[in-house]
Amino acid sequence: MRLVDTHCHINFTSYNEDREAVIARAAEAGVTRIINPAIDIKSSQKIIPLAQANPGIYAAVGIHPNSTADFVPEMMAELETLAQEAKVVAIGEIGLDYYRDESPKAIQAEAFRAQLALAARLELPVIIHNREASEDVIEILEAWSQDLPESLKERPGVLHSFSAPESVAERALAAGFYIGITGPVTYKNADTLRHIAAAAPLDRLLVETDGPFLPPMPYRGKRNEPAYIPHIVERLAALKQISLEEMGQATTENAERLFRL
């Protein structure tokens, strides 16, 4: 079974001491491809050589909402140059975060809209971060998705590590988006997330670690890594009442279709 971890910050310092071993363990677990999203211009610059040096790693470039406090429109020229490098498959992670007070909401929204416009222009899907900002995020995405080029209409992007209400999932799916499922789907108190995952179309689900964060059970409290993706696939297979192999194949095909791997 070949799996894709569609969101892992493999460039983060928590992997510095054993990054090659983490990648090797992932491959042993069947996770042969990893998408590494950036969080700012600096990390966007750094993740591209990492992806280009590793056959199974791909990059997404972008400015995370918590990194937008110093955002100026001039940053978009550098981001556009980076986005056209080999192995860059998306713009991300981008969005809104009202949980951490690290950037004013107006500046977050300005950076979000600018990066969405760039993604449309370059015909790249987006990786969306949403934390306690669901209504604003989905309204912006619904408006943006109205005028996309044909190549993006069926693959505008993914709401990563989905944790919003079911109504937001329904609106995102209606706009063409995919839903990214992370380790919390295995947590005891995640009944709402499991309900959303069970109800979502099979061809719109992605699996992701968000490593080093959000490890699935039984690794909660430890550093997450791509080798743990099968635990998420197993839980989704049970929710959908299909085999592990069917779920693995579906999520892999979904990732290939969205990111054109």
Residue range 161-201, pLDDT digits in tens: 999 999 999 999 999 999 999 999 999 999 999 999 999 99
Instruction: Select from 160, 138, 150, 155 the least CA-distant residue to 254.
Output: 155
Residue range 30-40, pLDDT digits in tens: 999 999 999 99
pLDDT at position 101 is 87
Q: What is the CATH number of the domain that holds 74?
A: 3.20.20.140
Above 90 in pLDDT, residue 234? yes
Q: Strands 178-181 and 205-207: what pairing?
A: parallel
By the 8 A CB rule, do 211 and 26 touch?
no
pLDDT at position 212 is 98
Domain that holds residue 183: 3-259
Per the structure, how many domains does the chain have? 1
Q: How far is CA 154 from the centre of its chain?
A: 17
Residue range 67-91, pLDDT digits in tens: 999 999 999 999 999 999 999 999 9
pLDDT at position 68 is 98
Residue range 211-233, pLDDT digits in tens: 999 999 999 999 999 999 999 99
pTM for the predicted model, two decimal places: 0.98
